[in-house]
Amino acid sequence: MRQIDQMVAGTSGGTASVRAGDVYNPSTGAVQAQLRFSSPADLDRAVAAAREAQPSWAATNPQRRARVMFRFRQLLEDNMDALATLLASEHGKVVADARGDVQRGLEVIEFCCGIPHVQKGEFTEGAGPGIDVYSMRQPIGVVAGITPFNFPAMIPMWMFGPAIACGNAFILKPSERDPSVPVRLAELFREAGLPEGILQVVHGDKEMVDAILDHPDIGAVSFVGSSDIAHYVYERGVRAGKRVQAMGGAKNHGIVMPDADLDQVVSDLTGAAFGSAGERCMALPVVVPVGEDTAERLRAKLVPAIEALRVGVSTDAEAHYGPVVTAAHKEKVEDWIARCAEEGAELVVDGRGFSLQGHEQGFFVGPTLFDHVTPDMESYRQEIFGPVLQIVRAPDFETALELPSKHQYGNGVAIFTRNGHAAREFAARVNVGMVGINVPIPVPVAYHTFGGWKRSAFGDTNQYGMEGVRFWTKVKTVTQRWPDGGAGDSAFVIPTMA
């Protein structure tokens, strides 16, 4: 059986730990590899290697660091198909979707190729008599990222791309469910010319997460996962004196106004709700038609579109989506379907018990649609993270606006309309961090920034873009004067700019 090892500088890849976990092929349900978990001693070795390598990397001028980023970007393009196929085999998403996973990470690396410009500080000449003031952005040192299973290429690159471009050394702990692509990314980065010790990969579960959060030589941690764990990571990391950003769960809403193009809405909804088997924090699992007429017309178009979706193995080029990641997650999603029905919602399309001929042991869940879901239902309040779409009917615009604004999560939201005033009003007033206007999955491009509100994010800084540069650097401000003569009595008075 294939063994997946850590990537720690100065070791052969093995680990002193005897703990391990199985890595499954979600399309077949079979174990395809064994992951050797790293130990706290392995983490200590990784951090020691990072501390040794980081000062030299930070002292490398930004243009030379950018050249490594450029070479890494090219290697990502050259290996796109192989990375997507490997990713799909462990996650379960179809290969086309896996290719998008790699591509969105690659776009952050493209942004990082401009690090000589974006890491520049500020300068003020003549802030006072003979006084200049300037600031510089310097790396934190050794930093870490803890990434989820649902985007094993994109989210690691969201984190380690800006961190490394800014001069830090990075310790990555990917999900133990699909760890092969993160390891391969680190190998490609080394091939691009990244010095040994600047990007290392350790594996594990909560034991390794806690070791990272408690390690005194790790200065900053980025996390993406469920909200409860994000809150835990944030609190424990901050108590340990670290800078922490922790992105949590979501329950994104799609508001459908009466004037919306319903054919386009249905096309967008089926992709946003069921793509990647709904295992996206920016999926669109709740649709809010405004007015009963809109709801009835939307439902009439949605049902046949959902029933026409093709669920298949990850390598099926005709499939719209594949299996969920594990048997346990399949059971969890099906339990939520049962719970929603018990709460009184109308189960219009039931995806439970889906079986794919020849792959009966795969972790498949069919597309599911509920209507007449209400805000008091637990299945509405919580994140299901599966191929389940809930219709919550709203009588008017104000009610529709209120639903995502009052929800505990505030990651993303979308409005579908031809009315510019309604769209502008919605975008300005909705209490959510990322807004799409006729865009179902409003993940910002790499030179903007990603981040939700409320229980979707803990910490004050978003992912990638300039927010990422700010998170992975410290600002140092210098006030300088080159006097003509002696200090005199003014040396004992607080400096002013008068």
Looking at residue 444, the DSSP 8-state letter turns out to be: P
Which own/partner pairs from 230-239 qualify as long-range (CB within 8 Å, at least 24 positions apart)? 230/457, 230/458, 231/455, 231/458, 233/146, 233/209, 233/458, 234/458, 234/459, 236/210, 237/213
Beta sheet of 253-256, edge-to-edge order: 346-349, 368-371, 388-391, 286-289, 253-256, 412-416, 434-437
Residue 195 above 90 pLDDT? Answer: yes
- Contact between 262 and 377 (Cβ < 8 Å): no
The helix or strand, by DSSP H or E, that contains position 247, with its residue range, turns out to be: strand 243-247
pLDDT of residue 484: 78
For residue 390, give Cα distances in angstroms to 185, 300, 331, 368, 407.
37, 15, 19, 8, 15
| Count of Cβ atoms closer than 10 Å to residue 85 Cβ | 14
Q: What is the pTM of this model?
A: 0.94
Which own/partner pairs from 318-321 qualify as long-range (CB within 8 Å, at least 24 positions apart)? 319/94, 320/94, 320/270, 320/271, 320/274, 320/275, 321/93, 321/94, 321/97, 321/274, 321/275, 321/276, 321/277, 321/387
Q: From CA 312, how far away is CA 326, in angstroms rounded?
A: 15
Residue 423: band (very low, low, confident or very high) from pLDDT cuts 50, 70, 90: very high
**22 CB-contact burial (10 Å; exposed 0-12 / middle 13-18 / buried 19+):** middle
pLDDT of residue 14: 60
Per-residue pLDDT tens digits for 21-64: 999 999 999 999 999 999 999 999 999 999 999 999 999 999 99
Per-residue pLDDT tens digits for 54-111: 999 999 999 999 999 999 999 999 999 999 999 999 999 999 999 999 999 999 999 9
Q: What is the CA radius of gyration of the chain?
A: 25
Q: From CA 63, how far away is CA 412, in angstroms rounded?
A: 35
pLDDT of residue 58: 98
Residue 490 above 70 pLDDT? Answer: no
Per-residue pLDDT tens digits for 203-251: 999 999 999 999 999 999 999 999 999 999 999 999 999 999 999 999 9
pLDDT of residue 265: 98
281 is catalytic: yes
Q: From CA 497, how far away is CA 306, in angstroms rounded?
A: 67
pLDDT of residue 483: 81
Name the catalytic one among 112, 113, 281, 340: 281
| Count of Cβ atoms closer than 10 Å to residue 380 Cβ | 21
Per-residue pLDDT tens digits for 348-382: 999 999 999 999 999 999 999 999 999 999 999 99
Residue 489 above 80 pLDDT? Answer: no
Q: Which domains does the chain have, with CATH numbers?
A: 2-248+456-478 (3.40.605.10), 253-437 (3.40.309.10)
Residue 488 above 60 pLDDT? Answer: no
Question: Which tokens go with 436?
Answer: 């799409």
Percent of the chain whose predicted confidence (pLDDT) is above 90: 93
pLDDT of residue 1: 79
Residue 18: band (very low, low, confident or very high) from pLDDT cuts 50, 70, 90: confident
More confident residue, 191 or 488: 191
